Chains A and B, each alone.
Chain A
Amino acid sequence: MDKRLEKALRRVQKPGRYTGGEWNAVYKDWPNTGVKMVFAFPDVYEVGMSHLGLQIIYHAVNSREDALLERVFAPWADMEKQMRETGLPLFSLESRRPVRDFDILGFTLQYELSFTNILNMLDLAGIPVRRDDRATGVYPLVVAGGPCAFNPEPLADFIDVFIIGEGEDAVNDLLDACLESQRGGENREQFLLRLAKIGGFYVPSLYRVEYNDRVNLEKVEPAVAEAPAVVNKRVVTNLGEAAFPTRPLVPVIEAVHNRAMLEVQRGCTRGCRFCQAGVIYRPVREKEPQTLVRQAEEIIHNTGWNEISLSSLSTSDYSRIKPLVSELTGSQTAAGVNISLPSLRVDAFSVDLAKEVQKVRRSSLTFAPEAGTQRLRDVINKGVTEDNLLEAVSAAFAGGWQAVKLYFMIGLPTETDADLEGIADLARRVLERGRRLSRSPGRIKVTVSVSSFVPKSHTPFQWEPQDNMDELKRKQAFLKQRVRGRGLVFNYHDPEGSFLEAVFSRGDRRLATVLEAAWRAGSRFDGWSEFFNFERWMTAFEATGIEPAGYAHRRFEYDEILPWDHIGAGMNKKYLVREHRRALDGEITPDCRAGKCPGCGLCPTLEIKPSLAGGETVAPLHDSLQ
């Protein structure tokens, strides 16, 4: 293997993607380690190494004496060519062993457009892509987790076990089960039955799925007693005590985010109705500021990074953000370490935070009002007003920033052209505000980025159709006409990728054939514009007789069985219906952080409570203090 690998490495553009050797990488004694797992990120090294989840799982597993976790990323096209030409199998970065030699191969599902890479990686590893074809022969257990596991069905024919929800504790259960299964000399079937009994573990082969016609599901039910009717997600109860990597891997080649990541809290209960992350990471769990300050020091000491990013959804919602930032700017900034806040709420309070951490106003500030009118922001329950936005940008421009980015979504339910006009109006108002407040008005830049709405499972908008591509293109052109002129920049993506995302995010098991067909025809790295080939996908849909519009453009009925109904995110389906109806009525629902429980049903279902720093269970919102 080594000679072939060396030859391949001399022929690829960035060999550092495949060599390992990072600071803090863990190299374990292979023969004397009980269970061997490899973490597979179905995208290129630079993307995968920017992912906090990888670092957390790497740390959680490698902290155990009886287990090891190595890494593998999707080989770039040049490396795939070398591997296929020379027969070099997919190998792990640490021990450079074939992926096939591991006991467990665990994929993370971060975005739908990485699904073809999963098939490709299995194939490069010499593992049959379909689980039925793995019934005979010895192969690693193929596991998948991450956000897209909440609708696992399009991948159900390829994956042995899905882990639903948070991985820190679940991965330990997986390793324990694997060790016990090995000791008991169990076969694959017995092992899967054992796994099906663990909370959050979904074994797709143990379910019967029936369809009533071309469109609808008739039923999805367990085929064996071991499999639960609904697999509820895993949640970490005490985030402060959960495994957190203070010795993270430091990428050898410049990654997308090459900096320390400190997770300050998990979950966001603002309840934006399109947002799946808000559902799957619910409830809010904050870490104590003392824990965070200690972890920040350790990470910086152990990595040598000069930037630390406070990561979470809507970081300004962390109830102790102000004292935390003051503490960190005092200790870390003095030591030459920058602090970044990548996810900020739209208000003046957040800009104050940004001012405190960024003494030199290098980059732009980003805000996400998501919709152009108050009416539509109420529909999506984005608790942001035009005043919030104007206050925020005023504070930014007055504070010395010359560029702001505004994120919007188009194709949201109930959207009309008036809402699009609203986006253009807002952008112009922000620009005017900037020119009025800045010392160099000519340099003010407002970038408007629009993405297309993709309905996601387990959200109040899961029943909503996506706009068809012609309509999305029309809306983009409409905005392009209006968001123009000096100081305004308009960004958007082709809707084809969003269309495929919608198909897979609301898809069922029947999509397996089209996914396989598209991959066999050459689809890889579909999230990368230089690789994405929409025609190839449409050919695959035609060849397999699958009508993609039925998944992306159809309005699902409240009473129909959804492909993911047997996967529980904790929120009550009745609550989602209620939220959907409130959305159509333009009614907003407040954040439960403020103390008023809207009754989503998650806490009783998962026997958990929101937890805030200082042991409180609810906190006043900063908004209400101002």
Chain B
Amino acid sequence: MQNLIATQVDDRKQAFVLTETQRELLPLAFGSFLDSVATATGRGTFYNSREEQAAAVEAAHRDLFDIDRDVYTAALMLPGVTDYSRQIGVRRLLQATRDGGILPAEFEAVAITCLVRGLPTQRMLKLFGMLRRDRVNNARTRRLILSEILGADGLEFWAVKYREKLRVALTHAWGRRMASILRNVLAKSPGDRTEKESKIVRQNVNRFVRDHAVDRVEQCVRFVLGEENDVTLDRLAAYRDAKSDFDRGAVLPPETMEGLRSRFHKDRTSGEVLELTKSQLTTGQRIAVQRKAEQSGVEVKFDPARYDAVRLYVYAFEMGMTDAIRQTLRDKAEAAAARLPVRFERVGVLIDASQSMMGHDTQALRPIATALALRDLLSTTADHAVAITADGRATESYELVEPSGDTSLAAGLVQLLKAEPDVVFVLSDGYENAPSGRFGETVAAVRRIGIQTPIHQFTPVFAAESQGVRTLSDSVIAMPVSKPEAIGFGLLKALIESDVDRGVAALFGMTKVAGYLPAA
């Protein structure tokens, strides 16, 4: 399995140099960090509150950052890192002045931009809100906020959808006084501005904007800062007009129009808003509103192919499994398996379908959905796969398994091993209670019998109390995974534990930052 990593390592002589202390500290800190970034979402889990999760995640970030900020930055860029982890990573990088690091300084600037652009808009704006809350307001931060907002193609759409968040972010970057000045200056047409006023607009707005978009961006900024009169852009004008004319809201995002409906059109229903604005739904919203759409009798089409397997499983739990979803899950599993440079002849998959795999209310069903998506992927990597739940029930790929009851995995493990697989994957949150420790004891007994079949645990839940993922047995490495694409995480963790230099090289290779390494 380590070939998965080896194939992605740049074989050039590595020019970065790790100190002895870094070599010593990295494996532990990196392991804990990977557990965190692969699974933490900033929400509570079945087991830990939001605050406990946040404290444990912060500690994992701090420990790796303190060892080397470039390794930390590269690790944030790994595919499969949660958006939440990227948010707090970027905040940490911006907060601390660069001092050291094993790669050239320009790497970090490019990496930060990449990380921010990889975030969905609402999470990018949430990151800017975090920067404001933590009073991070250095030149790098201001430049980042202004260039990402003012240079965005979708600024007009954002302006009506995230008006307040944009106002907060821009005011944080400009300062209250400058924001106020800009509001007044932008109210004038360019020809009426004084030289000084034009310079202010150039320095604070136009230098972040492509030439042809200056007028559009200036209007958006005025709108965001509270000025609605005289706007001519379609969506901005629609926002203003929809307060009196419901039908003008057809080009607005549904939640924006819903807000206007609840304030200005109380005689209209949410269903009418959905019908009016359904063409404006984002990809994420199309799947999220299915239940509401069904209740309101509104048909909202969505293309399953545009969602990841975990999201599709959550959807299937809520709305029921269909042949279309099943086929898409199959396509995705096959595509993901094709990208993995490993194949097995026989694979055993043991699924923990206990009550705790339901997850916390704020991310309901995500752990079991992740486990099922992994089941499909792992089963697809084999010529012959057997997937069973802890109580020995066989499960077919692309089918739902409802989580309930206690956790007892030992008997299921033995049942799988009797089928003589090449490898066994256990998909579990790591909490065992019927009784606790039986799984570990069983693994030890299996080894004593002389069976050395590799047993791996994949864990979709971050456990605050263990500062990482929770292991079922001391002799089985638990690997974090939030989605099938992130399956390489656990292998990278194992590589860094066994060979730090090679592991770090693999990390840079996987995150495509090898180009920043000085030539050999």
Tell whether A and B belong to one assembly.
no
